[in-house]
């Protein structure tokens, strides 16, 4: 919320801050939609310090939800969209969430574990109304969260207040929720913007998922900080990589190690040749010297 307020105070409401495969959103859109969603969540009973679980693909609503939680002083808990069964049950229960927001095509997974979910009361779906039936949990369409913000007053949050729970992979036991404060997220985004030499006018392209801190801090918050644009793709596609870089006019890309290697080993394409010199920084770890030379 602090970063958004700073950007709006500088008169940049019309700045195109987000690009979803050619659908663009401004800071003004973020302000309006996140406030509406916050008002809707408040009407559902969400209070300061409480958690909201999300099982969402990369989307505009995912971004609006993060800031809606910030407006309320609530805690955003984005869950890995591949999870089901015990993995999903553990994280929803551990987060102690009464409200969850999920894509329609993930709803059946929650129906299967409904009886084991201790706190969940309301499930908001994005997309078409699912055929799945719950015995106890209330099913609500995402449109219902477009609440009346005329009497809505955003909460005052401090740097030490909890912004997110980001769960670990659970390779050594049940996943643990990493407590990410507003100050931590903002400070990490500042470091990433400086480290990767981001500047106003840049376009940072990523297909990384919104349930990972990388996308939130390295792409989303860092671009807001410097006045750049975050271009967010649904998921990594080797065949669509260079066409997307060309379309988005990306100057920075944020990926992980395996896609970075796949890109360099793929055959040359016309789109790649047209993008020669366009990318100023490729972000990813690890980035060993042989991979640097290939790039």
Tell me the three state secondary structure of residue 107. Answer: helix
**pLDDT in the model for residue 144:** 87
Q: CA of 133: how far to CAs of 102, 111, 114, 140, in Å?
A: 15, 7, 10, 12
Tens-place pLDDT, residues 202-239: 999 999 999 999 999 999 999 999 999 999 999 999 99
Choose among 248, 261, 236: nearest CA to 58.
236
**Strand-pair partners of 76:** 52, 164
CB burial readout 148-173, b (16+ within 10 A) else e: ebeebebbebeeebbbbbbbeeeeee
What is the H or E stretch that residue 36 is in?
helix 27-43
pLDDT at 147 over 80: no
30-42: b or e for each residue (b if 16 or more CB lie within 10 Å)? bbbbbbbbbbbbb
pLDDT score, position 1: 55
Starting at the edge strand found earlier in the chain, the sheet holding 229-232 runs 23-26, 16-20, 229-232, 203-206, 252-254, 281-283
Rounded mean pLDDT of 95-123?
Answer: 96
Beta partners for 178? 166
Mean pLDDT of 64-85: 95
- pTM over 0.85, yes/no: yes
Residue 6 has pLDDT above 80, yes or no: no
- Give the H/E segment covering residue 82: none
Query: Residue 148: which residues within 8 A CB-CB, separation 6 or more?
Result: 39
What is the chain's percent helix, strand, coil content, to nearest 5? 40, 20, 40
CA distance 259 to 205: 13
Please count the other Cβ atoms lying within 10 Å of the Cβ belonging to residue 4. Answer: 18
Q: What is the pLDDT of residues 246-267, one digit of tens each?
A: 999 999 999 988 999 999 999 9
**Residues composing the chain:** 295
238 burial level (CB within 10 Å; 0-12, 13-18, 19+):
exposed
Query: Phi-psi region for residue 262, left (φ > 0), alpha (ψ -120 to 50) or beta?
Result: alpha
The closest of 242, 280, 248, 277 to 262, measured between CA atoms, is 242
The span from the first CA to the last CA of the chain, in angstroms, equals 37
3-state secondary structure of 214: helix
Strands lying side by side in the sheet with 122-126 = 138-141, 122-126, 99-103, 51-55, 75-78, 162-167, 177-181
Write out the two tokens for 105. 């095509």
Closest CA relative to residue 211, chosen from 98, 106, 71: 106
pLDDT band at 146 (very low <50, low <70, confident <90, very high): confident
- Residue 10 pLDDT level (bands cut at 50, 70, 90): low
Q: Do the Cβ atoms of 230 and 19 come closer than 8 Å? A: yes
């Amino acid at each position: 919320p602090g970063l958004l307020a700073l950007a709006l105070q500088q008169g940049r409401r019309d700045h195109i801050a987000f690009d979803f495969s050619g659908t663009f959103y401004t800071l003004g859109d973020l302000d309006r939609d996140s406030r509406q969603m916050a008002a809707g969540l408040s009407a559902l009973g969400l209070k300061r310090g409480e958690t909201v679980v999300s099982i969402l693909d990369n989307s505009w609503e995912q971004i609006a939800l993060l800031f809606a939680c910030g407006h309320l002083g609530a805690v955003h808990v984005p869950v890995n969209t591949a999870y089901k069964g015990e993995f999903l049950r553990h994280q929803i229960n551990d987060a102690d969430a009464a409200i969850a927001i999920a894509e329609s095509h993930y709803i059946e997974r929650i129906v299967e574990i409904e009886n084991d979910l201790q706190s969940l009361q309301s499930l908001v779906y994005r997309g078409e109304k699912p055929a799945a039936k719950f015995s106890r949990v209330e099913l609500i369409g995402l449109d219902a969260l477009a609440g009346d913000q005329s009497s809505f007053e955003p909460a005052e949050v401090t740097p030490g207040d909890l912004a997110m729970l980001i769960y670990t992979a659970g390779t050594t036991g049940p996943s643990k929720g990493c407590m990410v404060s507003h100050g931590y997220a903002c400070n990490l985004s500042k470091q990433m913007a400086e480290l990767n030499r981001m500047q106003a006018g840049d376009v940072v392209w990523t297909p990384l998922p919104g349930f990972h801190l990388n996308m939130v801090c390295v792409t989303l918050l860092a671009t807001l900080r410097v006045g750049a644009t975050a271009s967010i793709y649904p998921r990594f596609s080797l065949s669509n990589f260079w066409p997307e870089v060309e379309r988005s006019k990306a100057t920075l890309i944020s990926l992980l190690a395996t896609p970075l290697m796949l890109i360099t080993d793929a055959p040359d394409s016309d789109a790649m040749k047209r993008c020669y010199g366009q990318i100023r920084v490729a972000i990813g770890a690890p980035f060993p010297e042989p991979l640097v030379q290939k790039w």
